[in-house]
Structure 1
Amino acid sequence: MITTERLELRYFRPEDAEAFSAYRSVPEVARFQSWNAPFGLEEAQAKVASFADGDPLQPGWFQYAIALDGLLIGDIGLNTFDNLMQADIGYTLAQEHQGKGYATEAVGGLLQHLFVDRDLHRVSAEVDARNVASARLLVRLGFQQEGFRPENTWFKDEWTDDLLFGLLRSNWRRTAG
């Protein structure tokens, strides 16, 4: 669906379930995410099947598989608004593939697609303030921090601070060169 220099963003496939379960079962990967580790294979199979039925061009959530040499290494969630001009994103990368630029490349490839091919006006992201690596990734890609909400979310038995990020297509054009 979307290709970058090293990666492919594509629909999930049934054979992705084992890798999906594996990286979502790592406590450090799950720490700032909506699920808890471990993430069982049956649950992964059900999620992968539901993701495969999604349509990225329709309003609502769609989950892209991030593949390296055909193998699943992560995923990007895209929540397209009803107006089809705005979206929220979220992303996860397997721990062994972090720190190699794959997340930046995958999110950057998705932004290129959203702003150029789909003509979106704005993309937003919300990050747990403790997830410094994720916030840095967004800034690297041109997002601006637009808000800080202290103790805003009751998450995994504690109050957490939220950072709000946004990127307009016009600003992305300037930073993308």
Structure 2
Amino acid sequence: MPASFPETAISTERLLLRPLAGGDVPGLVAMMDDELVHAWTDVVQPFTEEHAREWTRMLAPARRIEGRGIVFAVTEHLTQRMVGVVELRSTDWRLLSTEVVFVTASWARGEGYAPEAVNGVAQWLFEDRGFLRLELRTAAGNTAAQQVAQKLGCISEGVLRSAWIVRGGEGDGGAEESRSDLILWSLLPEDMEPLAPREADHAGHR
């Protein structure tokens, strides 16, 4: 049995990060039906209720149990509405390293939720779980996600050439795809910095 993350919740100043639940299905479908999510992530499109139910009931729990990572729904303390998703994937338990990916809902952008949520996950990883490295990959054209990495104190380690596919947006019917470089970022425990209040938000993780 591989090592795995416990089922848990993480609280920040404004947010609660918790496991996905069945009631999140409508919010997930609405969140993923977005031009920027389509362009910068690898989320299947169109993202249907069936996809959302499969994610909440099977895929997310299996990832945690099998030790590959964990998925958090990001919700506001005050309203309980879902404002994003944060995932850990490609977890290496020998190196105590994992990769973070994230999406912010279109209705919650500009509130600084992405850096706050990922910062909360990083603190939990380093302080509670003993991890030593967190990785983030951003598409070369996704400047908003790069700003999130910088605000977290991540260090740019280089470029993975032609390592990602950016999908076309609504304007071209979503059919066009183009290859993109990925910028590789890392965050170590000693890199952690306090976040400035209400940092600008982003569109998607890549």
2:24 is equivalent to residue 16 of structure 1: yes
8 Å CA contact retained: 1:81, 1:87 = yes
Q: Does 1:77 align with 2:57?
A: no
Alpha-carbon spacing, 1:71–1:51, altered in 2? closer, same or farther (3 Å)? farther
Counting only pairs closer than 5 Å after superposition, residues 105-120 of structure 1 correspond to structure 2 as: 105-120=116-131
Q: Secondary structure of the equivalent of 1:145?
A: strand
Q: Secondary structure of 1:31's partner? A: helix
- Is the contact made by 2:37 and 2:43 (CA closer than 8 Å) also made in structure 1? no
Report the more deviating stretch, 41-50 or 131-140.
Answer: 41-50
Look up the match of 2:155.
144
Q: Give the SS at the match of 1:152.
A: strand
1:132 has 2:152 as partner: no
C-alpha distance in 1 between matches for 2:166 and 2:151: 26
Task: Give the paired residue count.
Answer: 175
Shift of 1:35: 2.0
Matched, 1:167 2:183: no
Is residue 2:105 matched to residue 1:94? yes
Contact kept in structure 2, 1:26 and 1:38, CA below 8 Å = no
| 1:158 alignment partner in structure 2 | 178
RMSD: 2.0
Q: Give the partner amino acid of 1:72.
A: M
Cα distance in 2 for partners of 1:152, 1:52 equals 25
- What does residue 132 of structure 2 align with? 121
User: Which has the larger strand fraction?
Assistant: 1
Conserved 8 A contact 2:75-2:83: yes
After TM superposition, the score normalised by the length of structure 2 is 0.78
Distance 2:113 2:155 in 1: 21
Query: Residue type matched to 1:6 in 2?
Result: R
Question: Contact conserved, 2:83 with 2:105, CA < 8 A, in 1?
Answer: yes
8 Å contact 1:62–1:77 — kept in the other structure? Answer: yes
Determine the structure 1 residue equivalent to 2:68.
60
Mind listing any 5+ residue stretches in structure 1 that lack a counterpart? none
Distance 1:82 1:58, change over 3 A: farther
Structure number with greater CO (CA < 8 Å, separation at least 6) is 2
**Alignment-mate amino acid for residue 93 of structure 2:** D
Residue equivalent to 2:171: none
TM-score using structure 1 length: 0.90
**Mapped contact 1:121–1:169 kept (Cα < 8 A):** yes
1:48 paired to 2:46: no
Question: What are the ranges of 5 or more consecutive residues in structure 2 without an aligned counterpart?
Answer: 1-8, 168-176, 196-206
The percentage of counterpart residues that share the same residue type is 26
The 1:115–1:121 alpha-carbon spacing in structure 2 relative to 1, beyond 3 Å, is same
SS at match of 2:20: coil
**How many angstroms does 1:142 deviate by?**
0.6
Contact preservation (8 Å) 2:39, 2:166: no
Residue 95 of structure 2 contacts residue 132 of structure 2 at CA under 8 Å; is this kept in 1? no
